[in-house]
Amino acid sequence: MLSSNTFLIYVVDDEQTIREGISLALNTEFRILTFETAEDVLAKLASPGIAPDLLLLDLGLPGMSGIDALRIIKGKYPGLQVVIITAYEDVETAVRVMKLGAYDYVVKPLHMASLVVTINHALETLHMRREIQRVQELCLQESHPYFVGESDAILQVMDFVDQVAASPDTPVLISGETGTGKELVASAIHYRSPNSQGPLIKINCAAIPTELIESELFGYVTGAFSGARVGGKIGLLAEANNGSLFLDEIGDLGLSAQAKLLRFLEEGEFYRVGSSQPIKVTTRLVAATNKNLEEMMQEGVFRKDLYFRLAVVKVKIPSLKERCADILPLSRYFLELFSAKFGKSYRAISPDAEKLLVQHNWMGNIRELKNSIERGVLLGKGPALLADDLQLERLESGREKGVSGLELPDISSQGIDLDEVVRNVERNYIEKALLLGDGNESKAARFLHMNHHTFRYRRKKLFS
């Protein structure tokens, strides 16, 4: 409940008893200003000064009606929460004011307890929107636009970030497909937590060879192994002291490193490679994966005890197909970004291009969308981004021809070579993954939820 005198509420009603009653009921919790007409409140809104957080607006006003005032207010001040006061409760009125942007409506005679509940709900919604906007602005400043949009799916993620950030040391496990923005969620958690003054250290477990991951993560001392540099290395975990450590692709961490990480989570200390001296640090671990860790536990390649220590709090980042409402807002953001980058004057996305963007199967999620808009802006002429600029149909047809167009044979009277069918399916998916990963084997491996060493082995075996 947001009972705080930091919130300013305007009350607009032509009945003095209503204005006085609301003021008396609310002035211990909120700052209240009252107005008799719509014209009065519109003049106040247009004048310099602190803007209100919420407006209680009567529909039956002398002069300009409440409905007309609502239409003007939401047009000029879309972020202002408005609760309508009406003498009649009917479906038509409710639908009309909600379509115009009102948060809710209450019916005379007013029940103050119910009114306070409605106001608090409206202010809680306002608070959440402001927090989302703040983090979105931070993310855009860091060139991480994954939180652009207001789909229910991404709002739920933002709400999760808001809740979990308050704890400085609770481990978090983030799952989701490649390109959905798992790293950004980790960044948002860090920068909104008590650890924000400390460092955010990031490591991609899939990008570092197994034999080197422990020395990178935990550090080493002089002479720990052949080639160890004089003076040793502090290690990323120690660098993250009083901050956060983000372990991307945690599913690619070897069993030996998993055991050492588990000890740190349980004891708060670790050993550098080649040392018997324990080191204590305070840091929050945020891990991310696009793999099914539950299946990996069953296969014995991921420790159950480590999983349960990492997954104290879990969140799944929605894929782009789960937040389709955000495709066009994201596209417009990327259009503006790359138009400025390439010195072009794009101002809009054509209707045909918008239709193509919405209908496309974004297997690479936001990363693929970003690349597509960048290519379109670079190759197009503007001022509108056209469907042909995106080249999505050409790419899709190429995929269908070389990959997804593979037709599985029926079993004839002579039978089929099942091993050959399976090999063909594997070849096609490997080709498709390489296409989505722009030829990068590590990226392609992640699309197929496998280690890049396994991917390389299978590719060599199937295409040699």
Residue-wise pLDDT tens digits, 206-262 = 888 888 888 889 988 887 777 667 778 888 999 999 999 999 999 999 999 999 999
What is the pLDDT at residue 103?
A: 85
For residue 388, how many other CB atoms are within 10 A of its CB?
16
- Residues linked to residue 56 through DSSP beta bridges, in sequence order: 11, 83
Specify the pLDDT at position 97: 84
- How far apart, in whole angstroms, are the C-alpha atoms of residue 439 and residue 464? 17
pLDDT for res 231: 76
DSSP designation for 402: I
Angle CA(146)–CA(152)–CA(158) in degrees, nearest 5?
50
Sign of torsion over alpha carbons 423, 425, 427, 433: negative
SS3 152: helix
What the block records as the tokens of 327 is 């495709």
Extract the tokens encoding 439. 């030829």
**pLDDT of 438:** 60
> How far is 207 from 201, CA to CA, in rounded Å?
15
Distance separating alpha carbons of residues 227 and 210, to the nearest angstrom: 16
pLDDT of residue 134: 61
Residue 163 · residue 185 · CB < 8 Å: no
**Is 32 within 8 Å of 47 (Cβ atoms)?**
no
Contact 72, 43 (CB under 8 A): no
Coil vs helix vs strand at 27? coil
Task: Please give the share of the chain, as a percent, with pLDDT higher than 90.
Answer: 30
- Give the amino acid at 125: T
As beta bridge partners, residue 201 has: 245
| CA nearest to 22, candidates 74, 89, 30 | 30
pLDDT at 246: 94
pLDDT of residue 10: 96
Name 200's bridge partners: 244
| Low-confidence spans in the chain with pLDDT less than 50 | 1-3, 140, 142-145, 395-405
Query: How many helices, marked H, and strands, marked E, lie in the chain?
Result: 20, 14
How far, CA to CA in Å, does 40 sit from each of 62, 119, 192, 417?
11, 22, 40, 83
pLDDT for position 405: 46
Q: What is the pLDDT of residue 395?
A: 47
What separation in angstroms does the CA of 351 have from each of 237, 328, 357, 434?
A: 49, 11, 10, 31
Q: What is the pLDDT of residue 342?
A: 87
Q: How many residues does the chain have?
A: 464
